[in-house]
A and B are shown apart, each in its own frame.
Chain A
Amino acid sequence: MQKTLFDKIWDKHVIVTKDDKDLLYIDLHLIHEVTSPQAFEGLRLKNRKLRRPDRTFATMDHNTPTIAAHRDVISDPLSAEQLKSLADNCAEFGVTLFDMESEYNGIVHMIGPELGLSLPGKTIVCGDSHTATHGALGALAFGIGTSEVEDVFATQCMWQTKPKTMGVKITGKPADNVFAKDIILKLIAENGVSFGTGYAIEYYGDTIENMPVEERLSLCNMSIEGGAKFGIIKPDQKTLDYIEGRLYTPQGEEFEIFKESISDLYTDDESLFDKIIILDVTDLKPQVSYGTNPAMTVDIDSKFPEIKSPEDQTAYEYMGLKPGMKAADIPIEFVFIGSCTNGRITDLRIAAEVMRNKTIADNITCVVVPGSMQVLQQAEQEGLVDIFEEAGCEMRMPGCSYCLAMNEDRIAPETHCASTSNRNFEGRQGERSRTHLMSPYLAAKTAIEGRISLG
């Protein structure tokens, strides 16, 4: 029987079907300090064991300070308690933890792929909505709530209703200043913040085939911003090259066996998708968000649209902007380069290339937060850290940082931030903060130019 890539992986993991839901076996469970403590507590209350500690990996990311000197003693007692609680829970239940001291520490969606934990064909869950990131490697990966985290702890399984599948076909060669971030923002701007609700999205087409793996991770990362819990891309030679030789990737002969086991991971025919959306990116321009959800996004040189609903009105008031203005009119004061969307080494290379031998504008504070210790180390080796620091940026330690502002990193009220993160919701980067989503390339340009501009 012909099947989609998504259905092939799904069907292999179904333990049992009950009415309209399937019991799915989970190959990899990634956890962090914010959405796991209540689930561990649930196990203790019922005197249950964690079924597969060998398939559960933990990191500290949401609360961790990015200023090196603040990592030893965390000043916020609640953050400190949450991090300690994760360490205690991992010790009690035998889970491998990449804590702040670890050379493998980083944002949960960074470390899965870079350590070879996230692999094609696997089912991967995490108590975090950006888990679709891992789907870029050909895995079935999705975000879950804490009750489900507890289910997986106790049984390595969870109930799921199988979603419909949507093919998102991306075609054309994008311009040199256009990246995966622009593509996903454009998709959401055109189709709305809930176009993917109820669907698993498979991204395919010539643009995807030519896209480097780390760009694919950025693309799948923001599937949830379009309403889809799952985003997936067919594993190909690029994927195999990317995963080979990583810490937890099968080695030698086992890798050959693994490759063989995933050789059928592709959609047999695009007519199998329940729905298809096509986007030609040949003439796509860099994208910038102006409002309070990711669909409120325009081309860099387009005017912000007219007010059509009370939501638009509220968004403009919150952002302190008006219809008819353009991205270049936004008084940017802060630039954030980082997050699980754009905190990878490729993102930092792109930003550093823009900043090489240049200085950021006087009105700008620019902070670069690598997604993981591995990325930081690589950036140091390649001289990227020197480029950022010579340009006047502040280089930090890894973490979620200004993307959700749960640690001490916050954008001041009413300050406009050019940000490579994934959400521009009210208060997302700090109380009354104003976020403008964009690619690392445009964020770096903005830091140099002092306003949103390609220079």
Chain B
Amino acid sequence: MDKLDIVKSKATVIFKDNIDTDILIPKNYLKSTKRTGFADALFAPWRYDETGKPIESFPLNQTANQGNQILIAGENFGCGSSREHAAWALQDFGFKVVIAGSYSPIFYMNYLNNLKLPLILGRAEREALIEQNSEITVNLLDKTVTAGNLCFSFEIENVYREKLLKGQDGIEEILEYINLIEEHEKKYAK
């Protein structure tokens, strides 16, 4: 998988709280047995009308937003179901970074595990970025978000930052400790 260090892009804005994974990708798209092919399903309930036609005013459908790699949202992003399909759909659509006030813990890990960045910024900072409406640079190396004359720093757990920067395969990283796992199993889990 590709590692992630610097992402430069304009942002698509869906500035709502509690965007749940049923909205990010409804259940009728969960029947696939693949990890890809979910781009058209992202935000389907808000993106298409009853006949399946794209709703022009919805941010994902606006011409100016095409190709954006950053999504700005509200609080508690990705709440609800654990479906990793939500992370895959964001990834397939092209979003490498979500900037929200907070995340549901399961979504947070799912997005990271696909080597994408769930970035946390306060409301005022996100509002300033939205108002600025220019290209945003997310720099994971120095943990900053810049846009025009705006510059904010953000926090992320060191291990997850490293994971994104290195593009680490999770299983390889665990297998480094296989001896310790075997020891544990001998003692507690025969």
Contact = CB atoms under 8 A, between A and B. Distances in A.
Given A18-B159, A147-B110, A193-B76, A78 B82 contact: no
B184 interface: yes
Contact of A405 (B27, B35, B102, B188): B27
Interface in A309-339: 310-311
Interface string A409-426: 000000000000001011
A433 B129 CA distance: 35
A38 B171 CA distance: 15
B30 interface: yes
Contacts of B188: 12, 25
B181 interface: yes
B177 A197 contact: no
B113 interface: yes
A158 interface: yes
A48 interface: yes
A423 B27 CA distance: 13
A154 B26 contact: no
B105 A229 contact: yes
Contact of B170 (A25, A76, A85, A151): A151
Contact of B158 (A20, A63, A145, A147): A20
A52 to B, nearest CB: 8
A397 B33 CA distance: 25
A345 to B, nearest CB: 26
Interface string B18-55: 10101100111011111100000000010000000000
Nearest to B44: A427
A293 B18 contact: yes
A232 interface: no
A23 B174 CA distance: 8
A25 B18 contact: no
B11 to A, nearest CB: 19
Given A34-B30, A144-B109, A148-B113, A427 B16 contact: no
A428 interface: yes
Contact of B16 (A15, A161, A311): A311
Interface in A179-202: 193-194, 197-198
Interface residues of A, number: 66
B80 A423 contact: yes
A129 B82 contact: yes
Contacts of A161: 157, 159
A158 B81 contact: no
Contact of B35 (A38, A81, A428): A38
A41 interface: yes
Given A25-B181, A78-B31, A129-B82, A147 B114 contact: yes
Contact of A159 (B45, B174, B180): B174
B180 A16 contact: yes
Interface in B155-189: 157-159, 170-171, 173-175, 177-178, 180-181, 184-185, 188-189
A82 interface: yes
Contacts of B18: 193-194, 293, 311
Nearest to B109: A145
A41 to B, nearest CB: 7
Given A27-B189, A38-B35, A193-B79, A156 B170 contact: no
A452 interface: no
B104 A197 contact: yes
A21 interface: yes
A428 B34 CA distance: 23
A227 B170 contact: no
B120 to A, nearest CB: 11
B106 interface: yes
A404 interface: yes
B17 interface: yes
B87 interface: yes
B84 interface: yes
B12 to A, nearest CB: 18
Contacts of B23: 425-427
A197 B80 contact: no
A157 interface: yes
Interface of B: 16-18, 20, 22-23, 26-28, 30-35, 45, 75-76, 79-84, 87, 102-107, 109-110, 113-114, 157-159, 170-171, 173-175, 177-178, 180-181, 184-185, 188-189
8 contacts: A35-B83, A38-B33, A128-B82, A155-B178, A159-B159, A194-B75, A404-B22, A426-B23
Given A15-B184, A16-B180, 15 more contacts: A20-B157, A23-B180, A25-B188, A35-B84, A82-B31, A127-B84, A145-B109, A151-B174, A194-B75, A311-B16, A311-B17, A406-B27, A423-B22, A428-B22, A431-B45
In the A-B complex, the 10 residue pairs with the smallest Cβ-Cβ separation, listed nearest first, are A145-B110, A147-B113, A78-B31, A37-B33, A145-B84, A129-B82, A146-B84, A406-B27, A143-B82, A194-B76
